[in-house]
Structure 1
Amino acid sequence: MTTWLKIGGSFVFSFFLLTSLDAAEIPFTILFTGDLHSSFEARPNTFQLGGMARLKTAFEKLKSDAKEKGFPVLQLDAGDCTEGSLFFNLGAGVASFEMLNRLGYQAVAVGNHDWYTGPTVLDKVLTRVPLNFSFLSANFNFRFLPEDNHLSEKIKRYEVFYLVDGEFLRKGDKGFTPQEGQKYFKVGVFGLSTNEAAYQFFFDPVRIQNPISEARKVVLQLRRTEKVDVVIALTHLLDEDDISIADNVTSIDLILGGHSHNKVIPDGEHRPVTIQRTEDDPLHDTTWLAKTGEFGSFMGHLDIVFDSIQNKMLWGKSQYELHPIDASYEENQEMKTQIDGYKQQLIKKYTSGDDEINLFSDAIAETEIELIKSGVTESFLGNFVVDAIYEKSKPLGVNFSFNNSEFLSHGLERGPISRSGIYNMLPLIYDPLKDTSWTIWTLDMDGATLKKAIDLVFMLGKFFDTAGLEVIYNPDSYPQKVVSIRYQGQEILDDRIYHVSATQGIVEALKLIKEELPGLSNMQDTHLELWTVLQDYFKSHSPIRADSKETARVTGRIRTTQPDLAILSENIVVKPLQDNLNKLEMTTLVQNLGYGDLLEEELPRAKTDPTELLFYYDTTPHNPVDDVDLFKPQTDLFSKRFRNWSPVLEEPPKNLMLIDKLLVPSLGKDQKISLSLKWDVSSLRQTAFPYTVYLLLKRASGTGFIVVPSLLEEDRNDRKLMKVDESNIYNNKAKTIVYLNQPNPQRRPLK
């Protein structure tokens, strides 16, 4: 039986010091990150967080603070530290591992993006760059590697850190050798890597074993053989796997996780997610679980206290914090110089002939709207990318195209767009043997196979982007969710062969389930890099606007049979009211993208019920830690228990304040309405940081026509007018940023 401790409370921005330690109590500090993805420089984000030159300064400052308190420090990372930006392409991770050495990590988990180059390349890279830290994964089986591959010597199951003269050392560090008979305070750190089937083939012939069973084995070894006092798991797993390990593997004190790119927000008592088990050993019945998000935007900070007499963690005296890596941390000049050197190498690598465009600083396009990544519903960015694929592959005889925005790394902010910015936005995959990132592929499939493939996507709770098709599905139907697929206005034919283009990730996924889809054939690599294709497409469509007549606008390419009210971030317009910068007018568009299968005669009778549109603003603009991520999928596992892990707008956290709510009238299929409100911001604190405004459209219900089997004739279905609820709620949320006292409140002021 598991007891879930209540997690809640408001965020407190300062991190107060631990006090009143007894002589037998051993304090220590853990500083950690995860999912860095070679983010040498900050990724696009409102607060301009991140960058390894700042991260280095933050590590040095917090280590110095810990030293002043007498706290020894462990510096750790939860994996995916290498592949994922243009910088990785320098030696297939050589530059990335060099930077990790410079940052001073002591142990790092192996993430899936750290092995995508395969065991042969990774082995060579780690030979070229000897690591100053322990590279950890306890669930790899190396037995099938050839004899000349030495990864099994370079990736360890675990590491033991000994507390010696106020610092943590491994055997061999600074000539340290544990003395027999001497008692040391010891921390055991082990790694776990995701064993999802979609990633395993990259690392063949290495076998990736079940992380839970391997966790049990390594914890026993650490506790019984190594006799460590504290056990830390560095995990690169699904969120639900982290929960399962914390729940079912005894004697793990801390889980520091990555892979999902989620962050765990400290609660009001400075704790992360806390899981307490009911078990026979009261000394090890609690696990803390923390995550720092992505791209080095935040650093996790744990101050831990261990009771050496009772041999247990003192959770009441331990604390957790997330530090935004913002401009308050000056860039470390040595790191900045190193990064500038890498940039010059990349400029040389990717500049040819008369091309004088600087890869990093020169804009090739501009967007007047924020291009937001959403892997769970139709979006402007998703449409834009798949339209680029479709336009480029049409001359190859392609009928329609597919992509998946979930593969994208992130979106793009308003403003200029560089070539490197486009690359870093794309899927975090690079093939060093071909020196290419993901390419566009073509393939053939019959109509029946297409329907089955799309059914599988919806059954798995996933989404996709398409150009050239109109898809209607019923989320409440099982197993066949597809209602209609139209190409050029006509229903597709089961026995017709269609020529399709898709990104490499889609094709690799289809290869894994090819036995389920026998109608797939003729998979061909066009050798067109998505990065290059998108550069040309951004150039030719710049500047990018919400009201552009290009097809990227969200119009319901993929519709549900239920009502589907939508609000989109790109349609939010904020402007001063009558030249009064203290009063703003916010306008947005609400549209009904649902009712996909209605017949012409049914249109007048199918409408949504009136609902409400709520406007909130974040009262802590200076604090990015507590921001809500609108577009990450929520699961029942996290919806109630871990609100500090994944706060949702449907249950707004305490830092959000309601501005106003507006009535949304009944809307039929494709009907839309413009709504606006006036917001007096004169009482808001003036700050250099923007205020984030969130919009929430309450879930709609209404009337619609549902297909039901006929009671009179077995072969006939009837359509009945019934009460129906909205199923797609991911497009019911939107956001924008507001800079006070600006003529254009949605645009970052020029410095």
Structure 2
Amino acid sequence: MKLNIIHTNDLHGHLENWPIIKQYLNLQKQFFIEKRAPFLLVDIGDALDTVHPMVEATEGMIMVDLFNEVGYDVVTIGNNEGLNFTNNQLSYLYSQSRYEVALANLLDSRTYNYPKWASSIVYRDFEDLRIALIGLTAPYATYTLNQYELIDPYDALEQQLRSIQNSSRNVDVVIVLSHLGLKDDRLIAAKYPQIDLIIGGHTHHVLQDGEVVKQATIAAAGRYGEYVGLIELEIPDKQIGKLWRKTKRRIDINCHLATIEQLRDLTEIPISDSYELRGRQMLKSQKLAELPHLYTANRSEGENSFIQLALDAICDKTSTTLGVLSTGLFLSDLPKGIVTQNDLHEALPHSMHLIVMTFRGEHLIEMVEEMKSQEEDLRHRLINGMGFRGKIFGEIIFRGIEFNSKTQEWYAEGKAIVADRTYRVAAVDHYWFVPFFSTIATYGSPELLFPDFLRHIVSNYIQNKYPITTVGKD
């Protein structure tokens, strides 16, 4: 028997490619239906990303609707779903889905059971053929802030493999939907001979023809819908229905990737910004505040400085007087007059939460000097990932921290920093995750604030400080 699997991963809300992908998926499914060939459509996570205005405006529902429309069968989640949407938001989204969610290494911390919207293993039957799909997501410690309890993915996988082995029903094929990254996928393939296929994501790797590690095949389709994958599994009929734990299996697996350019030529559908335009219109309808003047992204000082406004906002939110942000976060200005959610989303599209760091004075000085020592290198350094959706890191701007050239000392709150005094500093979690500032993890005891992103913090701040008073609020 031949089983066909179409797979996507790490779409990150890149809906400009979706009309092409949708048409291709429909064509493939229709072909398999006409041939009476069994097939599955799966996604490996990070489909929902609020960097896209339509995802932001609909709180993720647009992706669920699109996946329902084309008929996905099984998905797992990535860190963008698990950490950028609250537990309740994700629960509602998947209550509206017509596909199953496989997720073996995340529990609801309120019940210590799997979330109601997920199954540790999803089984699918095709006549006498039975397959098991196990979902694993990247184990970020910050999941605990979203009312989840993490299970080590290897422990979770071993538990599910034992469950399959002890089951009274035979399983012919074991597939892992892995949002762990290529390094872990290779380790899993080498360690667990029970696994036939790993379909991966998270690290945005492209495996054009798949990769074989021992008995397992690893597949992946890059990022952003730039590729769509097709996997063909050929299982000998005489092998189907035999006890999986006792049979020496032979499964032929072939992997193929189609580029979005190839799919565009095939479907004759252009790349489209229609979803972005609709999302922008929805966000523009959400009026927030009425600013007395322009706040400029490229000014680091003065009353017209956007970064200074943001420092006001994060210090107000965290009840601190000290803060740090970088100019590369600010992608556009905030206009004078009525400001909308769209203005904030365009300017601060990043998936970044706030952190509050607590330092002894001597360690605060060490952190500041660590940042200043890299200032010139980081000013124009291209940055990608870790929640960042801009281009360059930019200039580091401190609030309440400065160097006194006369005394040759670092000052905080207008006074020389005292070595054994405690100081609290507000920032974004991005600085904790990037590999530049080791003092944050070593000495800062960072506390992450969930669930609001930086743009939501700024939005709430300007709504309170500059409420709409003109007819523009209608």
Fold shared, TM-score > 0.5 on shorter chain: yes
From the superposition, tell whether residues 526 and 236 of structure 1 become closer, same or farther in structure 2 (CA, over 3 Å). closer
Q: Tell me the residue number matched to 1:141.
A: 107
Report the aligned-residue RMSD: 5.0
SS at match of 2:219: strand
SS at match of 2:186: helix
1:251 is the counterpart of 2:194: yes
Taking the aligned partners of 2:360 and 2:24, their CA distance within structure 1 comes to: 52
From the superposition, tell whether residues 134 and 496 of structure 1 become closer, same or farther in structure 2 (CA, over 3 Å). same
* Residue 120 (structure 1) shift: 2.8
Taking the aligned partners of 1:146 and 1:526, their CA distance within structure 2 comes to: 24
Where does the alignment leave 5 or more consecutive residues of structure 1 unmatched?
Answer: 1-25, 43-49, 165-183, 277-285, 355-364, 366-379, 381-386, 410-417, 430-437, 471-484, 534-751
Query: Equivalent of 2:86, from 109, 118, 121?
Result: 118
Q: Tell me the residue number matched to 2:324.
A: 401
Contact kept, 8 Å, 1:389 with 1:440, in 2: the verdict is no
Pairing 1:471-510 to 2, within 5 Å after superposition: 487=403, 493=410, 496=417, 502-506=427-431
SS at match of 2:104: coil
Taking the aligned partners of 2:199 and 2:439, their CA distance within structure 1 comes to: 33
Query: Equivalent of 1:73, from 34, 39, 58?
Result: 39
* Residue 112 (structure 1) shift: 2.0
Where does the alignment leave 5 or more consecutive residues of structure 2 unmatched?
Answer: 241-248, 299-304, 332-340, 384-392, 460-474
Q: Deviations over 1:42-101 (max 9, x none)?
A: 2xxxxxxx2x22211111122334456653211001112223332233453223322221
Query: Equivalent of 1:207, from 149, 164, 176?
Result: 149
Q: Tell me the residue number matched to 1:236.
A: 179
Contact kept, 8 Å, 2:356 with 2:424, in 1: the verdict is no
Taking the aligned partners of 2:65 and 2:223, their CA distance within structure 1 comes to: 20
Query: Equivalent of 1:349, from 286, 298, 301?
Result: 286
* Residue 185 (structure 1) shift: 0.8
TM-score by length of 2: 0.66
From the superposition, tell whether residues 303 and 507 of structure 1 become closer, same or farther in structure 2 (CA, over 3 Å). closer
Pairing 1:430-509 to 2, within 5 Å after superposition: 438=353, 446-451=361-366, 465=393, 467-468=395-396, 487=403, 493=410, 496=417, 502-506=427-431
Q: Deviations over 1:601-635 (max 9, x none)?
A: xxxxxxxxxxxxxxxxxxxxxxxxxxxxxxxxxxx
Taking the aligned partners of 2:98 and 2:20, their CA distance within structure 1 comes to: 20
Q: Tell me the residue number matched to 1:186.
A: 130
* Residue 30 (structure 1) shift: 0.9
From the superposition, tell whether residues 218 and 424 of structure 1 become closer, same or farther in structure 2 (CA, over 3 Å). farther
Query: Equivalent of 2:27, from 61, 75, 81?
Result: 61
Taking the aligned partners of 1:526 and 1:132, their CA distance within structure 2 comes to: 28
Q: Tell me the residue number matched to 1:608.
A: none
From the superposition, tell whether residues 79 and 520 of structure 1 become closer, same or farther in structure 2 (CA, over 3 Å). closer
TM-score by length of 1: 0.43
* Residue 505 (structure 1) shift: 4.2
Taking the aligned partners of 2:77 and 2:102, their CA distance within structure 1 comes to: 6
Q: Tell me the residue number matched to 1:290.
A: 219
* Residue 341 (structure 1) shift: 5.8
Pairing 1:276-355 to 2, within 5 Å after superposition: 276=214, 286-310=215-239, 312-315=249-252, 318-326=253-261, 327-328=264-265, 329-331=267-269, 344-349=281-286
From the superposition, tell whether residues 247 and 340 of structure 1 become closer, same or farther in structure 2 (CA, over 3 Å). same
One-letter amino acid of the structure 2 residue matched with residue 159 of structure 1:
V
Taking the aligned partners of 1:103 and 1:352, their CA distance within structure 2 comes to: 39
One-letter amino acid of the structure 2 residue matched with residue 228 of structure 1:
V
Q: Tell me the residue number matched to 2:116.
A: 153
SS at match of 1:38: coil
From the superposition, tell whether residues 98 and 291 of structure 1 become closer, same or farther in structure 2 (CA, over 3 Å). same
Q: Tell me the residue number matched to 1:38.
A: 13
How many residues are matched?
Answer: 390
Taking the aligned partners of 2:140 and 2:62, their CA distance within structure 1 comes to: 27
One-letter amino acid of the structure 2 residue matched with residue 273 of structure 1:
E
SS at match of 1:156: coil
One-letter amino acid of the structure 2 residue matched with residue 124 of structure 1:
Y
SS at match of 2:190: helix
Q: Tell me the residue number matched to 1:47.
A: none
One-letter amino acid of the structure 2 residue matched with residue 87 of structure 1:
M
Contact kept, 8 Å, 2:48 with 2:63, in 1: the verdict is yes
Taking the aligned partners of 1:111 and 1:212, their CA distance within structure 2 comes to: 17
Q: Tell me the residue number matched to 1:196.
A: 140
Taking the aligned partners of 1:239 and 1:100, their CA distance within structure 2 comes to: 25
From the superposition, tell whether residues 187 and 520 of structure 1 become closer, same or farther in structure 2 (CA, over 3 Å). closer
Taking the aligned partners of 2:234 and 2:279, their CA distance within structure 1 comes to: 41
Q: Tell me the residue number matched to 2:455.
A: 529
Contact kept, 8 Å, 2:2 with 2:233, in 1: the verdict is yes
* Residue 240 (structure 1) shift: 2.4
Q: Deviations over 1:23-42 (max 9, x none)?
A: xxx11211111122333x22
One-letter amino acid of the structure 1 residue matched with residue 140 of structure 2:
E
Q: Tell me the residue number matched to 2:55.
A: 88
Structure 1 vs Structure 2: percent identity of aligned residues? Answer: 17
Q: Tell me the residue number matched to 2:387.
A: none
Contact kept, 8 Å, 1:468 with 1:488, in 2: the verdict is no
Higher RCO structure (Cα 8 Å, ≥6 apart)? 2
Query: Equivalent of 1:517, from 429, 432, 443?
Result: 443
Query: Equivalent of 1:272, from 210, 217, 220?
Result: 210
Q: Deviations over 1:376-424 (max 9, x none)?
A: xxxx9xxxxxx9636854898988834598x999xxxxxxxx9689649
Contact kept, 8 Å, 1:469 with 1:486, in 2: the verdict is no
